[in-house]
A and B are shown apart, each in its own frame.
Chain A
Amino acid sequence: MSDFGFHLAFWSLAAMTIGGASMIVVSRNLIHAVIWLVLSMLGIAGLYLTLSAEFIAVVQVLIYVGAISVLMLFAIMLTPRAERDNSQHIKTAGPAGVVVIMVMIATMWVAIDTDWGAVREAALTEQARLIGESLIKHYILPFEIGAVLLTAALVGAIALARQDDEDAAVHAASLQAELDDDGSVDPVDVVDPPLPTDGEAST
């Protein structure tokens, strides 16, 4: 683990991960923030590869880049543009910074100061098979609970996000009220304004 190629991989991937994460803090646009998150996740997947954990790395790309980020973008698209602001909370940013710096000092100190013991040279091979076997033998109960949790999350998300026809009518009315307020239409938000009814048209 000391040759030049490994060093190059580790430092560039670490820079990618931390850089992407820092850009989330800075960027004001929520969509940009999600794209920086994707960059950071890809960096972490690469770091898993340097730790020779291929299975976890591929799962990371599959779940985070392919699914979770797309889900976030979808959720952002369903809210109007005014809600895509990713700025900081002015009042809490200061105290949050102090707390975070204290946590950082503590975790770094633990990470560097502790003697972590033996360093193993050989990596785990055939991880997919091993993980699969231990999931259905040793960890069968957590596995089942995880399955139930995912099902519950699926049902819960659908139940929450479902829009009844009445709600839809109220929603459309409120959007119409917003449009009346400022008179401007966001070109990206594809919201068809309710067309005038017959009564209005005749007056």
Chain B
Amino acid sequence: MTDLAGIGSVLGAWYDFRDLNNLQRLITEWIADWGPDWLASIITGVLGALGILGVIGPTLLILIWVERKVIARFQQRYGPNRVGPKGLLQPVADAVKLILKEQLAPRAADKLIFFLPPVLVFIPGILIWGVLPFGPRMSVADLNVGVLFLLAVSGTAVLVLFMAGWASNNKYALFGAMRAVAMSISYEVPMVLALLTLVVFSGTMSINGIVQWQQQEDVIFILLFPLSAIAFFFAASAELNRTPADISEAESEIVAGYHTEYSGMRFGLFYAVELGNTLVVSAFIATFFLGGWWLWGLDQWVPSWVILLAKTGAVYFLLIWTRGTLPRLRVDQLMGFCWKALVPATLLFVVVAFVERTLLISEGWDTTVALPIMAVFNIALSLGAVMLFARVARPAPLRRPARIRMAGSDIGGLNAAREVAARREEPQLQVGGD
């Protein structure tokens, strides 16, 4: 990694807000004067966490309003417009309502495991912010296994959802939990493969290292690996249980999924974490594929975290867009899309990344010439792969299921009504207008 002492911290003083890391370093040095060094790391860690919470909490309240307004516009409605100017205070009113509501617990629930999930779900939700680089030296923890850490932490969230669904002792909650687990295990595979492409190509597992690679080579990864970026976007939005893929809380099928039995603020906590995860996922998409805090030299003039937040906002809008536009998919469609489309596509680009990395390193190709050629080649390959998928692996047209699984062959429907009527030797039931 290169020495970046000069970038983004021109003054190096605590009031230089282009790099908040200066403030952190000042506190560390001040504590080191009189205290042990473990105290310094604990205090800066707690301050970092509080800072993140203090910024994210109010942002979430605004984002709820933004999301509802934008979706309303997509669906030609007004959205919230009663509480406060232009409905701005609606999220506050909702939060107050959720806090005041009674907390119910089913009598047959597994008490301990039922109470834990709303709290536990916060832990991965907050830990994941720790490795997000807001600037060249601005992340709470710049791990050299950052990408793996990200995957590990997001993987633990599944367990919490499962605990919530199981402890509720409710059929629908369990359905939701099983769907959530099955889906996030499946979609973790293309996510890992898409990130593996970047790790192979940039040769580092540090998240900040990936951003710095993009900065050094003057290229953003979405140009080099567009299909991986799209696959990551889909996989991440599926992991978030948002509308195109929200089978785990599909309200028209299974009430509310794993949080059916959670009322009041317990539900509020699930909701807040889900929203916060949406934000952090858009931040990570911006970091991995759009260059993060870097934007062709603009980071010399504008604070790097402002650039990151702008990119995050753009990705977040795209997530709202997909949510407002696409209808909910069925379970088999989602699974099929993951295993038949996303996994082969990302796997193809892992191989491509291996080959191109070898050309750059072992054959010593000049990056300024080779990278544009590779970008053009990869974009063409991505288009070809998508067109091939559209032609060959097109989902089969809808047909009647071969065997009705949930019920006997003639239960329900017109035939059953006619048969029942015939069996009772009553006059034939007249259905229809003939």
User: Does a CB–CB distance below 8 Å link A and B in the complex?
Assistant: yes
Any A CB within 8 A of the CB of B148: yes
Report whether B174 and A188 are in contact in the complex, using a CB–CB cutoff of 8 Å. Answer: yes
A180 at the interface (CB under 8 A from B): no
Verify if A102 is at the interface (C-beta below 8 Å from B).
no
Pair A74/B148 contact, Cβ less than 8 Å: no
Partner of A62, one of B36, B144, B155, B181: B155
**B171, CB-defined interface residue at 8 Å:** yes
User: Closest chain B residue to A195 by CB distance?
Assistant: B408
Does A65 belong to the interface (CB within 8 Å)? yes
Nearest Cβ on chain A to B366's Cβ, whole angstroms? 25
Tell whether, in the assembled complex, residue B152 and residue A66 are in contact, meaning their CB atoms are under 8 Å apart: yes
**Which of A70, A126, A195 sits near B407, CB closer than 8 Å?**
A195
A139 at the interface (CB under 8 A from B): no
Report if A121 contacts B (CB, 8 A).
no
Bound: A38/B411 CA distance, A: 45
**In the complex, which of the residues A32, A61, A126, A202 contacts B423, with contact meaning CB atoms closer than 8 Å?**
A202
A158 to chain B, nearest CB (A): 13
User: Is there contact, CB below 8 Å, between B158 and A77?
Assistant: no
Indicate whether A14 reaches chain B with its CB closer than 8 angstroms.
no
| Chain A proximity mask over B18-42: 1 for CB below 8 Å, otherwise 0 | 0000000000000000001111011
State whether A58 touches B174 (Cβ < 8 A): no
A3 and B155 form a contact (CB under 8 A): no
B394 to chain A, nearest CB (A): 26
Q: Given A54-B143, A54-B144, A67-B155, check contact A5 B36 (CB 8 Å).
A: yes
Chain B residues within 8 Å of A194, by CB = 408
**Chain A interface, DSSP helix/strand/loop, else mixed:** helix
Across the interface, do A6 and B155 meet the contact criterion of CB distance under 8 Å? no
A62-B151 contact, Cβ under 8 Å, with A128-B144, A188-B174: yes
> Is A197 engaged at the interface, CB distance under 8 Å to the other chain?
yes
Q: Which of B38, B108, B162 contacts A5 (CB 8 A)?
A: B38
Q: With an 8 A cutoff between CB atoms, is A97 at the interface? A: no
Q: Complex formed: what's the CA distance from A6 to B110 in Å?
A: 36
Is the beta-carbon distance between A77 and B36 smaller than 8 angstroms? no
Nearest chain A CB to B169 CB, angstrom units: 6
B153 within 8 A of A: yes
Residues of B within 8 A of A126 (CB): 144
**Min distance, Cβ A35 to any Cβ of chain B, angstroms:** 7
Tell whether, in the assembled complex, residue A3 and residue B166 are in contact, meaning their CB atoms are under 8 Å apart.
no
Range of interface residues on chain B? 35 or more
Say yes or no for A135: interface residue by CB 8 A criterion: no
A94 at the interface (CB under 8 A from B): no
Whether a CB of chain B sits under 8 angstroms from the CB of A175 is no
Determine how close the nearest CB of chain B comes to the CB of A201; give it in whole angstroms.
8
* B148 and A70 contact, CB distance less than 8 A: no
Task: Assess whether B201 is interfacial by the CB under 8 Å rule.
Answer: no
Report the tally of A-B residue pairs with Cβ distances under 8 A. 94
Q: Given the interface contacts A55-B145, A62-B152, A70-B158, does A35 sit within 8 Å of B174 by beta carbon? A: no
Residue A21 is within 8 A (CB to CB) of chain B in the complex: no
**Contact in complex: B171, A187 (CB < 8 Å):** yes
A198 within 8 A of B: yes
Is A58 a contact of B152 with CB atoms below 8 Å? Answer: yes
Per-residue CB contact flags for chain A residues 47-82 toward chain B (1 = under 8 Å, else 0) read 000000011001101100111011001100100000
A32 with B113, Cβ < 8 A, contacts A5-B38, A70-B181, A187-B169 known: yes
Chain A residues with CB under 8 Å of B37's CB are 3
B149 interface residue per 8 A CB criterion: yes
Q: Which of B402-434 contact A (CB under 8 A)?
A: 406-408, 410-411, 419, 423
Say yes or no for B338: interface residue by CB 8 A criterion.
Answer: no
The minimal Cβ–Cβ distance linking B15 to chain A, given in whole angstroms, is 30
CB distance from A10 to the nearest CB of B (A): 12
Q: For residues 1 through 57 of chain A, which have their beta carbon under 8 Å from a beta carbon of chain B? A: 3-6, 29, 31-32, 35, 38, 54-55
Q: Does B334 lie at the interface of the complex (its beta carbon under 8 Å from any beta carbon of A)? A: no
Q: Is A190 an interface residue (CB 8 A)?
A: yes
A54 to B143: give the CA distance in the assembly, Å. 9
Beyond the given A5-B42, A54-B143, please list 7 additional residue pairs across the A-B interface where CB-CB is below 8 A: A38-B159, A58-B152, A62-B155, A66-B158, A73-B162, A188-B166, A195-B407
B interface list, Cβ under 8 A from A: 36-39, 41-42, 108, 110, 113, 143-145, 148-149, 151-153, 155-156, 158-159, 162-163, 166, 169, 171, 174-175, 178, 181, 185, 188, 205, 406-408, 410-411, 419, 423
Jot down 5 A-B pairs with beta carbons below 8 A, ordered by A: A55-B148, A58-B145, A59-B148, A66-B158, A77-B174
